[in-house]
Structure 1
Amino acid sequence: MPKYEFRTVQHTPARVVYRFLSGRFLDGERRTDGGYLRPGRRVLAESGHASKWAMLPGWQRQAWRLGTPIALCGVSSAYLTSPDLTAGTAAVLAAVGGTRVARRARAAWRMRRFNAAYINPTLAALTGALGDAPVRLHVSPELGSLVPRLVKPMSPAEKAVRTWYGEHVEPAVRWAPEHIMRALWLAQKKASPATRWLEQFRRPVDSDTGPRIELLTSVPYLTDDQRRYVSSVVNAKIPAGDLNERWDQVGPQVRVTWTVRKRPPSKVGYADLSARLAQLAEWEYFLGLGVGGKPVTISLKEDSPHIACSAGSGAGKSVLAQTVAVQVLARGGRVVILDLKGSHRWALNLPGVDYCTSPEQMHKALVALARLAEERNSRALHESEDWDPGYRVFVIAEELNATFAKLKDYWSEARGTGDAKVSPAVRAFRDLLFMGRSAKVNVFAVAQMLTAHTTGGPESRENFGIRALARYTKNNWQMLAPEAGMPRASRTLGRWQIVVGGVATECQVAYLSPAEARLLVHKHAAVSPSAQSPLMGADQEMSPRQTTVGDSVSAVVDPLSETVTLREAVARGISPWAFDATKKRLQRARKAQAPTAPAPVGKEGLADVYRVGDLVIWIESELVA
């Protein structure tokens, strides 16, 4: 049968009407693997495109085709019966429809920009391996959220405008969305018992049906060098992170599919941090897990001595600071917290922590820290290159935007005749940023909008080589990480972007409850002698192998072998519960004959005495349970 007769038979009026009424495509071409009840998930080779309309199941297309004329007839009949009510309803529906049309137009514009920035250059680069052969490249719309946006350099005028916007406008604009997001996170937390119970009724989703990149070419075969070239081009031109690659060269065409690796887990906790702490060097710190469950670590020696943290309210800035601080304490360092609002209750009365809550305390602390760092740097000039200045001091500066204002107000009131106009605390903070690496004094700066004005100028802010961002805006990203491509901000609580050396890494930060944070410090105390507070004076600095007992210096004993009563354990923070609750839990553990229940090793009056190490093991088992 001639070709033109074949096409005529396939497109008879009866067939076209049948396809229209049954929800099929009018040209009879099958574009996806979907059916009448199942939506399309994969684009087939015969398809020229795969729009959202093509991905719909057949019954939805049928409903639109049959429902639209019926709805028009119904609206006409209603208008003849009640014109005023029909006009009001039509106005409301037009407003809703206009909003949806605007959103779709915005999405189409974004897709056009996405194609211009990624798809078209990729197709042009593939001609080096495929020549003039027809190539079809499909990128799932969901994948657009994983691909960083291309960042253009900013002019001085744009920097000034963005800085002004970030300091004066953006805090007010972000207030409502941040509180709405915090309410959603609270609702998710409250509903978590029910959602975990419902998980067992959900069918597992095939990971092969997720967001993907598909390339189809009519070339019958590609050599190993050509395949490597195609893979390198796609990974370089469409930077969607770690991708799984699969080639299929069976048949007259070559198909290659890239699927996204498993995203970071939704929760990382105490067990993940405790298991990896001993495997890291003293200057390396575990933050959480990234794509495919890969650990994300930072180095305060090789990456940067200081960390900048910028995120909206409730995004977990204090949790990120706590994750690094507990590792510093567990290794024998000290933590100095400058906090006006009390975000780190886990650290109250914890050995090795100096908690400053008033501007006067913060002023004295920063001046003492700058003096300590200066003396360590001076000593380093006369020592060998591998000289260790001593224990590490980790400074958490919470809410710098408000803290600096308080410090300036305090100095304006306390300044005497002849004193400098610039606050010594502000000057000391800037000095720490320039000499923290060799002195082992590291700053963790926390702010909702970490502008250059907040840190003392662009030169000071450049010392933050590690930058953590969450729930960021385009303006915030452009100011803090303009050299890195900007991924779409995640709505998952605890999901951060860690930017080091111009590369952004997605990370689910480890969350520790206050009890777990204190337990981790006590658990690793055997290899971590407590260092002297730097606020007592830099001239009293001690070796990390010594500890203070009264006014004398003695050798360190194993802290886990120390004996304490339950009341002393509660007072020192070893037990996260109140004394009565700790006593009741211990009684239940003994009654159940739990293997981790500690046995008393002596008496102190009428109270039993326990070994600290035995208490730590038992408390950890209780928390895990």
Structure 2
Amino acid sequence: MKKTALPTMLSFAAADLREQIEAMPEGTALIGISTDGRAIAVDLDADCPHVLVCTGAGGGSTTVLRSLTAQFLHQGAHALLLDSKRISHLWARGLPTVTHRGNVAGIHDALVDLGEELARRLDLAETDLDATPRLIVSVDSANGTLHHLTRYWEKFRGTDDPRTSPAAAALEAALWAGRAARVHVLLDGTPTISVLGAAPHELFGTLILARVSATTWQHLAPPAGPTPKPNRLTGRGHVIQHGEAYETQAIWMTDADVVTWLTDPDDAAR
């Protein structure tokens, strides 16, 4: 298929792009535009209940998490945002439908609460579940976060407690049962079988990779074929869906874009 020259940046500030984003159906978010000219989106209710984002340095993983989370929030979802760096998602602080946690104790407790919420949702009747807001769990720097959670649990675990961190167990449960509970994980990292109990391509219907090594590509997306040449453009990467890789320019949304859009959408539209 003929490739299309893409702009070096797809800014949410562009009126036509914002209109396209706002026209997406509930549960669907625009990732970006591919080099064959098509809109590349994730549909959480189809075959993509969770999204994995993995990039090298400067690859834009935080921007992608911000863009996707913001789009689902705009559609009425709630979000649990785990920000172990404490500064990557300052836009989320103070928003009424977002729980933002940064320190390891807060992340641990939030994930334990997530496990309880998951169980509650799974017990709901279908009509009650449909009326329950979708819950987006955004995990920035997941590898480091899971490492800190493991060490935290080792420090406080009692002799009769399970060896596995209940926070990590709750995250794994959300990945396996999330579709049935309207809980969806957007995870930034390189999960391994030892941590989450399955190969990444079994847990995530959509993968967004940028500036990754050949080893990482083959670990995360073996069905998508050989590792493509890296592209140093900001926001340029590959989206893997159904075993196919699409070179894509991702949407750029600033913290200010998101806060204004979510708190005063009429102002954002001007």
Normalising by structure 2, we get a TM-score of 0.91
Which structure has more relative contact order (CA 8 Å, sep 6+)? It is 2
SS of 2:10 mapped into structure 1: coil
Letter paired with 2:121: R
Number of the residue aligned with 1:397: 139
The whole-number CA distance in structure 2 between the counterparts of 1:298 and 1:332 is: 16
Partner of 2:8: helix, strand, or coil? coil
- Shifted more, 494-503 versus 479-488: the winner is 479-488
Deviation per CA, 1:535-558: give whole Å up to 9, x if none.
xxxxxxxxxxxxxxxxxxxxxxxx
> Who is 1:553 aligned against?
none
> Partner of 2:254 in structure 1?
513
Partner of 2:41: 297
Q: Residues of 1 paired with 2:98 and 2:120: CA distance? A: 21
Contact 1:303 1:500 (C-alpha < 8 Å) held by counterparts: no
SS of match in other structure, 2:58 = coil
Instruction: Name the counterpart of 1:278.
Output: 22
Instruction: Report the count of equivalent residues.
Output: 266
CA root-mean-square deviation = 2.0
Partners of 2:199 and 2:228 in 1: CA distance: 26
- Are 1:334 and 2:74 an aligned pair? no
Report the 3-state secondary structure (helix = DSSP H, G, I; strand = E; otherwise coil) of the residue aligned with 1:504: strand
Q: Contact conserved, 1:268 with 1:288, CA < 8 A, in 2? A: yes
Aligned equivalents of 1:387 and 1:394: distance in 2? Answer: 15
Q: Is the contact made by 1:433 and 1:460 (CA closer than 8 Å) also made in structure 2?
A: no
Provide the residue aligned with 2:108 in structure 1. 363
What displacement does 1:479 show? 0.5
Q: Please say if residues 290 and 507 of structure 1, whose CA atoms lie closer than 8 Å, have aligned partners that are also in contact.
A: yes
- C-alpha distance after superposition, 1:414-452 (max 9, x if no partner): 2234222211111111111101112111111112x4433
Q: Deviations over 1:602-625 (max 9, x none)?
A: xxxxxxxxxxx5xx26xx64xxxx
Evaluate the alpha carbon distance shift between residue 367 and residue 423 of structure 1 in structure 2; reply closer, same or farther with a 3 A threshold.
same
Residue number in structure 2 paired with 1:316: 60
1:475 Cα deviation (Å)? 0.7
Q: Which residue of 1 aligns with 2:161?
A: 419
Contact 2:27–2:75 (8 Å) recurs in 1: no
Q: Structure 1 stretches of 5 or more lacking a match?
A: 1-241, 244-260, 525-612
Asked if 1 retains the 8 angstrom alpha-carbon contact of 2:149 and 2:165, the reply is yes
Alignment map for 1:9-88 (pairs within 5 Å): none
Larger radius of gyration: 1
Distance (whole Å) between structure 2 residues aligned to residue 305 and residue 482 of structure 1: 20
Partner secondary structure for residue 88 of structure 2: coil
Q: Name the % identity.
A: 31
What are the equivalent positions in structure 2 for 1:15-164 lying under 5 Å apart? none
Rounded to whole Å, the distance in 2 between the matches of 1:457 and 1:407 is 16
Uncovered stretches (5+) of structure 2, i.e. residues with no partner = none
Q: CA deviation at 1:459?
A: 5.0
The list of structure 1 runs, each at least 4 consecutive aligned residues, that deviate by more than 6 angstroms after superposition, is: none
Residue in structure 2 matched with residue 267 of structure 1 by the alignment: 9
Distance 1:461 1:470 in 2: 16
Partners of 1:288 and 1:295 within 8 A in 2: yes
CA contact (8 A) 2:34 2:249 kept: yes
**Distance in 2 of aligned mates of 1:433 and 1:307:** 10
CA distance in 2, matches of 1:461, 1:504: 13
Q: Please give the alpha-carbon distance, in whole angstroms, between the structure 2 residues aligned to 1:451 and 1:427.
A: 14
Structure 2 CA distance, aligned partners of 1:356 and 1:345?
10
Counterpart of 2:84, as a letter, is L
Within the alignment, does 1:476 sit opposite 2:221 as a pair? no
- Code of the residue aligned with 1:478 in structure 2: it is Q
> Does the Cα contact within 8 Å between 1:273 and 1:286 map onto a contact in 2?
no
Distance in 1, matches of 2:237 and 2:200, equals: 23
Judging changes above 3 Å, is the alpha-carbon distance between structure 1 residues 297 and 506 closer, same or farther for their aligned structure 2 residues?
same
Counterpart CA distance in 1 for 2:184 and 2:37 is 28
